[in-house]
């Protein structure tokens, strides 16, 4: 006999009025693949790669990196896998004895990679070679982008690496989508200009919230001020969603907010129908999305858009749940 969970996972990804959505998984380790399959995630929306960086002192060792990516692609066939470049710094691993006063505002993500070119190129080679072997399934995601100039440089480095690889393997074109994390408020505010430069946007609400509210996401003393349900966060998300529509670029959410069932309904209401979350959260989110209509979700999104305080948002959420 099927459990309720199994039934939910096997049912189609559609709202009660037939609008479709896609749910993907955020993972970091191969060991999570069984969970990804059991909840029937449609691929990996965020593959964190910091563990590769942690495990090896000699950078990632390209071969081991490739073996890792291959394992993830094999284990999620035929779905897409979004590989995020190393996002070291901030709350993540920080080595080399380089302490900073404000690590979250410092040398992390793409900022670090652009300075550590050998490390960056090594990871790119491993990812691009994987993309050659799994055409159309690999998406490259860049963390902590905070300027258009960074995207221009990233594209150059990708092109160089592609050419190197083309000469070595006789491939002429590498089928890979390039996307950026939207987790810095200035990028969210100018999302349309960033969207034009890439193939997709992925909103990281964990960092976006901390930067927007000036609240360290790991500081317990002020954790009461940290809320991904803050109306200003929703305003930013709405703006990014509209920027995606205006430029015809897909926008997804891979921050914790996507694993909150009511928030997920609200995201759909704002036009974001691609969500990525920790595998364990997927059945509950799917259950909420399946039992409501897109029409109801749009109404919820409209209410949230008019909210001024966190409690306004929470009231709208409670009302939404009470109506079922």
Q: How far is the CB of 228 from ligand PEP (least distance, A)?
A: 9
Interface residue with Mg ion among 122, 207, 260, 274 (CB under 5 A) is 207
**Which option in ligand PEP, Mg ion, none does residue 255 bind, with CB closer than 5 to 8 A by kind?**
ligand PEP
Q: Does 306 count as an annotated binding residue?
A: no
Nearer to Mg ion, 79 or 217 (CB): 217
Q: Does 217 count as an annotated binding residue?
A: yes
CA 85 to chain CA centroid, nearest Å: 12
Q: Does 117 count as an annotated binding residue?
A: no
Contact 158, 113 (CB under 8 A): no
Q: What 3-state DSSP class applies to 223? A: helix
Q: How far is the CB of 162 from ligand PEP (least distance, A)?
A: 26
Nearer to Mg ion, 65 or 210 (CB): 210
Does 269 bind Mg ion (CB under 5 A)? Our answer is: no
Q: Does 183 count as an annotated binding residue?
A: yes
Q: Helix 261-269 crosses helix 282-291 at what angle (to 10 degrees)?
A: 50
- d(Cα 66, Cα 123) in Å, to the nearest integer? 9
- d(Cα 15, Cα 295) in Å, to the nearest integer? 10
Nearer to Mg ion, 87 or 122 (CB): 87
Q: How far is the CB of 111 from Mg ion (least distance, A)?
A: 13
- d(Cα 20, Cα 275) in Å, to the nearest integer? 12
**Which option in ligand PEP, Mg ion, none does residue 49 bind, with CB closer than 5 to 8 A by kind?**
none
Contact 270, 238 (CB under 8 A): yes
Q: How far is the CB of 204 from Mg ion (least distance, A)?
A: 4
DSSP lists the bridge partners of residue 200 as 179
Q: How far is the CB of 206 from Mg ion (least distance, A)?
A: 5
**Which option in Mg ion, ligand PEP, none does residue 205 bind, with CB closer than 5 to 8 A by kind?**
ligand PEP
Nearer to ligand PEP, 73 or 212 (CB): 212
Q: Does 207 count as an annotated binding residue?
A: yes
Q: Does 199 count as an annotated binding residue?
A: no
96: exposed, middle or buried (C-beta count within 10 Å: 0-12, 13-18, 19+)? exposed
**Which option in ligand PEP, Mg ion, none does residue 130 bind, with CB closer than 5 to 8 A by kind?**
none
| Assigned token pair, 252 | 């997804």
**Which option in Mg ion, ligand PEP, none does residue 48 bind, with CB closer than 5 to 8 A by kind?**
ligand PEP
Taking CB under 5 A as the criterion, which residues in 166-205 touch Mg ion? 183, 204
Residue 254 bears catalytic tag: yes
97: exposed, middle or buried (C-beta count within 10 Å: 0-12, 13-18, 19+)? exposed
Task: State the residues that interact with ligand PEP by CB under 6 A.
Answer: 46, 48, 87, 183, 204-207, 254-255
User: Smallest Cα–Cα separation from 81: which of 125, 124, 129, 25?
Assistant: 25
Per the residue annotation, which of 254, 265, 266, 290 is the catalytic one?
A: 254
How many CB atoms are located within 10 Å of the residue 99 CB? 8
Contact 260, 228 (CB under 8 A): yes
- d(Cα 112, Cα 117) in Å, to the nearest integer? 9
- The tally of CA atoms less than 13 A away on the side-chain side of residue 112 is 24
- Annotated catalytic residues are 254
Binding site residue list for phosphoenolpyruvate:
48, 84, 206-207, 217
> Which residues make up each annotated binding site?
48, 84, 183, 206-207, 217
User: Footprint of Mg ion on this chain (CB under 5 A)?
Assistant: 183, 204, 207
């Amino acid at each position: 006999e099927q459990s309720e969970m199994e039934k939910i996972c096997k049912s189609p990804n559609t709202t009660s009025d037939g609008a479709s959505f896609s749910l993907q998984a955020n993972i970091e380790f191969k060991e999570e693949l069984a969970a990804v399959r059991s909840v029937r995630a449609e691929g990996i929306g965020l593959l964190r790669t910091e563990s590769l960086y942690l495990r090896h002192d000699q950078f990632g060792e390209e071969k081991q990196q490739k073996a890792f990516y291959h394992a993830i692609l094999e284990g999620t066939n035929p779905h897409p896998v979004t590989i995020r470049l190393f996002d070291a710094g901030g709350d993540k691993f920080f080595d080399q004895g380089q302490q900073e006063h404000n690590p979250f505002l410092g040398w992390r993500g793409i900022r670090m990679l652009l300075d550590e070119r050998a490390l960056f190129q090594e990871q790119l080679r491993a990812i691009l070679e994987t993309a050659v072997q799994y055409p159309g399934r690999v998406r490259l995601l860049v963390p902590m982008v905070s300027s258009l100039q960074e995207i221009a440089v990233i594209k150059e480095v990708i092109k160089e690496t592609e050419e190197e690889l083309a000469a070595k393997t006789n491939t002429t074109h590498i089928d890979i989508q390039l996307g950026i994390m939207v987790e810095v408020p200035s990028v969210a505010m100018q999302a349309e200009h960033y969207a034009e430069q890439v193939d997709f946007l992925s909103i990281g609400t964990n960092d976006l919230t901390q930067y927007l509210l000036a609240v360290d996401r790991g500081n317990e003393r002020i954790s009461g001020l940290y809320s991904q349900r803050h109306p200003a966060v929703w305003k930013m998300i709405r703006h990014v969603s509209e920027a995606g529509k205006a430029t015809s670029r897909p926008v997804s959410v891979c921050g914790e907010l996507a694993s909150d069932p009511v928030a997920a309904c609200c995201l759909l209401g704002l036009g974001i129908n691609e969500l990525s979350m920790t595998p364990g959260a997927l059945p509950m989110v799917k259950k909420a999305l399946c039992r409501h209509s897109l029409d109801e979700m749009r109404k919820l999104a409209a209410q949230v858009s008019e909210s001024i305080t966190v409690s306004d948002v929470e009231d709208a959420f409670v009302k939404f749940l009470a109506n079922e």
